[in-house]
Structure 1
Amino acid sequence: MKTADLLHQAFGSARGAFLLTGIDGTALYANTALERRTGFTVGEIIGKAPGKLWGGTMPRDFYARFWTAIQVKREPFVATVTNVRKDKVRYQELLAVAPITSEEGVEYFIALSVGHIEDEEERERFQREFREVFSPQARFSEEDRLRFVLRSLGSGQAVPASGTRPLKEIFQEALVAPFQERFRARKEDRLLILAAQTDPQQFQALYDKYRQTIFLYFVRHIEGSTDVAEDLTQDTFYRALRYLGSFRLTNASYGTYLLRVAHNVLVNYFRKKQFLALIEDVAEDEAVETDISSGDALWRSPKLLETEQKILSMKYQEGFSVQEIAATLNKSENAVKLQLSRARKKLRAVLGA
C-alpha cells in the first residue's frame, strides 16, 4: 500500500478529531472522529467554514487573537472553546490550530480536537508540545511533526516514513487530493442520477460507468465463474434501476451504493445455493435411511467406525430417538446428530460405489 494511502487510513481511523482547511478557513479534509464530535457529516463539512457549522460562539476579540496568531504571526493557537453540535447541544473542547507553511507562505491550517485525552497532565503536556512543535522557531523535521500529530490524535496505525517531504505535499497527496476526487465523482454521479430519474434511458450512463467494477466484484467472489458473475451483475443493475426513483445520494459515490447492492445480491445467491445443496443432502439422507430401516445391513459396513455402526443400529434398527441415544451413550444430542450425519455420508458413498 502506498504511503499516501496509509496516511489517509491513519488520519481516518484516529480517535481525535482532525480538520484541514485552506487559508480562507474552508474545510478541505475532515476525519470520521470530527463527524462524531460535531454531528455533521463529512459531506456537510467539506467546502464550508467551521464557524458556519459548529463554531462561531466565542467573543469577537477571541477570533481576532486567533487569526492574528495563525495567519499573521504564523504561530500555533491552543485554547478551550465552546462549540455547538448539529443537534444544538453545546460542548467545550480543547482546540489546537497551527498553520502549515512553505516558502510562499501559509498553505493550510490544521485543527486538532483531543477530547480523547482525559488525563489533565497529558492534556497540559499536549498543549506545551503542540506549541513547541509548530513554533516558527522550532527545528523539528516535517516527519517529526507528522508523527506528533498522529500520535496526539490517538491513531493506532504505524506512521510510514515520509523523509524530507514538506507537510504541504504530504497533506495534498494523502488527504486533499483523495477528497477532491471523491466529491468530484459524487457531483458527477448526482448529475447522472438526476438525468436517469427524469429519463430512465439515461441510466445507461451509470451502467457504462460502473458495470466493470460490479462485474469484477462478482468474479472475485465466485471463483472466476464469468457466466454467473454476468447474471449477478445484471441483477444488481436491475435492482438499482428499480429503486432509482427513491434513491438519495449520500456522501459516497453511486459506485459505493452499487457495491452494497451487489453484496446483497451475492449473499442471496449463496443462500440459495446452500439451500439447494441442503435439499439434495436431505433427499440423499432419506434414501440412505430407507435402505437401512428396510433391513439392509449396510450399517455394518467396515467403512464405518464401531461407534458409527452402533449409533446407526440404535437409530434405525432399534428405533431409538436422538435424545435417547445421547442419554444412553452419555453424549450430547449435537454430538449424536453430527456422528449420524457423518455415518450417512459414508453410506451414501457405499451406495454410490
Structure 2
Amino acid sequence: MKIVVTGGLGFIGSHTVVELQNQGFEVIAIDNLSNSSIEVLDGIYNITGKKPIFENIDLREKQSVQDFFKKNQDIVGVIHFAASKAVGESVENPLLYYENNINALVYVLQELTKLPEANFIFSSSCTVYGQAEKMPITEDASIQPAISPYGNTKQIGEEIIRDVAKVTTINSILLRYFNPIGAHSTAEIGELPIGIPQNLVPFITQTGMGLRKELSVYGNDYPTPDGTCIRDYIHVVDLAKAHVIALQRLLKKENLEKVETFNLGTGTGSSVLEVIHAFEKVSGQKLPYKIVARREGDVVEAYANTDKANKILGWKAESTLEESLASAWKWEQKIRKN
C-alpha cells in the first residue's frame, strides 16, 4: 500500500515514515527541505533498513503537485504534515503562513478529489481551541478565535477539509496534537530546527549544549501555579504511531463519519519551569534561563483530554516527560558530535 507523507523529512513526518515502514507500507516522502535535511533519509534507512521514495516538491507550486499525483494514481492515503509551524513566527510573518499552510492543503485536496477514493490524515493542532475555557480540552470544546495566524491556518484547514468531505469521496481524520517533543530512541532522527529554535525543547537542549547562552522564559505572571505557561508535551514516536493507527482505521473503513477528530496528548500539563527542571534532572546539569516579557500568541494553558483517542483508536501515549526529554538530549548530543 502506497502512502504519501508530505513534510516527510520534517520532525513528526520522519518519525511517522519510520512507523509506516515498520508496518509494511510503501512510503513516498514529499518535502521541500525548507525546514529539514536530506540526511534524514539516512536516519530513516538506519532505523528501518529501507529508504522511502523521496520527492523534492514545494506544495505551493500547483503544477508540481498536479504532476506528482498524475504519476502516482495508485496511492491509498496521504498524511499531510507540510506546513510552517511556529506560533511566534506566524505573528511576525502571517502571509508566509497563509500561503504555505492553506495553498498547499488546497492543492493536495484538489488532486485527491480526482481519485475514486482517498484517505487523508491532517496534521492539526491544539491551537485550534485558542484559549480553551476549561481543562483538560475535549474534542467538543468550542473553537475560540485563533490567537495566532498559525492557529488560524489550522482552523481554516479543518474547515476546508470538512467542506470538501461533503461533496467528495475523501475520508479524513483530523489529529489535533499538543506539543510534540523528543527523538527516536536510536538517536538517528529527531528535531533539527534551522536557525534559532521556535519551540521550547530544542531551545533547551541547544542551551544545554552551550549553543545558546540562556533560555528565555516568556512570562512568569500567568495564572498558573508557578506563573509560567502550561502545555501537554507528547513524545514524537507516540504521536507517529497514532498517525499509523488513524490511517489503518480509514483503510479498514472503520470510521463512523467522513471527517473524524481526535486529540493527541498525554493528558498531563507541564509548566515551562517544570520542563526546565525535568531536563536538569535527566541531563544532570543546571540550565541558564531568564524571565522575559510574555510572547504574543501564547495561550495560558493547554492540555488534552485523550479519552476519545484512547477508546476509539485504542491509542495511548506511553512515554513520560522525562523519557521524552532524555531522548531529545541524546539526539542533541549526537548531532553536535558529528
- Same fold? TM cut 0.5: no
Question: Which structure has the highest strand share of the two?
Answer: 2
Question: Which structure has the highest helix share of the two?
Answer: 1
Q: Tell me the TM-score normalised to structure 2 length.
A: 0.22
Greater RCO between the two (CA within 8 Å, min separation 6)? 2
**Higher alpha-carbon Rg:** 1
